[in-house]
Amino acid sequence: GAVVSQHPSRVICKSGTSVKIECRSLDFQATTMFWYRQFPKQSLMLMATSNEGSKATYEQGVEKDKFLINHASLTLSTLTVTSAHPEDSSFYICSAREGGPKNTGELFFGEGSRLTVL
Amino acid sequence: DAKTTQPTSMDCAEGRAANLPCNHSTISGNEYVYWYRQIHSQGPQYIIHGLKNNETNEMASLIITEDRKSSTLILPHATLRDTAVYYCIVRVAAGAGSYQLTFGKGTKLSVIP
C-alpha cells in the first residue's frame, strides 16, 4: 500500500514553544490529509481535514489558531502546535488518501508523532 | 456514518483463528465496512473493507451477514504480532463523499502464546 511518513516521531519541548510536525505521502499525491490526536488509552479523534491549496477544516472544539495546518503541496501537510502546553501532550497521527484514478477510498496512516510538553 | 459496536477486548491463542465481531445495525446501503488495526504506539493500519460480499486478502477475511447489520473479521492464524486494537468503521462508499474515518473504541485483541 501507499506510504505516509511523519516527522518527527517523538518530540519533547518546553511549555510555550511551538512544534511543527510534518506528514508526507511518499509515493502518491494526497489531495486530502487528515490530522488526528490520540490521548493515552483513548481512540483517535479527528482534529482537522487538510485540503491541498486551501484552508483546513477544523472539527468542533479544535482551536484553529493553536493548531496551524498547512497543505501547500500534494505530498506534504504540516501541523504546528503553537504555544504548546502540557495538556497538548499527545500522539498526533496524520492520514492521507490517494487522489486521481488510483483513489480507492482507502486512507493510509503515518507512524504518528508523540509530543511531550514539559 | 453508522455507529458500530465491538467488544472491548478479546483473547486468542497463538496459531488459532481470531474472530472479531462488529455490529452495525444502522448501516446504510451505500456504506462500506472497513477494518483497521493499531499496534501500540503506531499509526492505524488498513486491513480490509467490503460492501456486502465476503472479502479476503493476505491479512484477513471479512464476513458480512446478508442483512449487513454485522460483520466478522477473521485472522486465520493469529500470531503475537497481531496483538493490537482492531477498529471496525462504517462509512460512505469509497470514491465519493467524505473520506474521514470516525474511530470508536475498538477491540483490544491479545494473542497469547
Residue holding cell 473520506?
B99
Q: B9, B59, B100, B103: best mutation site toward chain A, by most A Cβ within 10 Å?
A: B100
Task: Give residue A93's Cα distance to chain centre.
Answer: 5
pLDDT of residue B2: 65
pLDDT of residue B91: 83
Between strands A10-13 and A113-117, the pairing is: parallel
- Confidence band, pLDDT 50/70/90 cuts, at residue B30: confident
**Contact criterion met (CB < 8 Å) for A108 and B46:** yes
- What are the 10-residue block averages of pLDDT along chain A, 118 residues in total? 90 97 91 92 92 88 94 92 96 85 74 96
Spatial distance between the Cα atoms of B108 and B98, rounded to a whole number of angstroms? 27
pLDDT of residue B45: 93
Q: Are residues B101 and B34 in contact, defined by beta-carbon separation less than 8 angstroms?
A: yes
Query: DSSP state, B94?
Result: T
Q: What integer is the mean pLDDT of B64-71?
A: 96
Is residue B56 pLDDT above 90, yes or no?
Answer: yes
**Contact criterion met (CB < 8 Å) for B41 and A114:** yes
B3 touches chain A (CB under 8 A): no
pLDDT of residue A93: 97
Is residue B94 pLDDT above 70, yes or no?
Answer: no
Q: Which three cell numbers stand for residue B93?
A: 462508499
pLDDT of residue A84: 96
Q: What is the mean pLDDT of chain B?
A: 91
Q: DSSP per residue over chain A, as a string? A: ---EEEE-SEEEE-TT--EEEEEEESSS-EEEEEEEEE-TTS--EEEEEEETTS--EEPTT--TTTEEEEEEETTEEEEEE-S--GGG-EEEEEEEEE-GGG--S-EEE---EEEEE-
- Confidence band, pLDDT 50/70/90 cuts, at residue B100: confident
Q: Are residues B88 and B73 in contact, defined by beta-carbon separation less than 8 angstroms?
A: yes
**Contact criterion met (CB < 8 Å) for B101 and A34:** yes
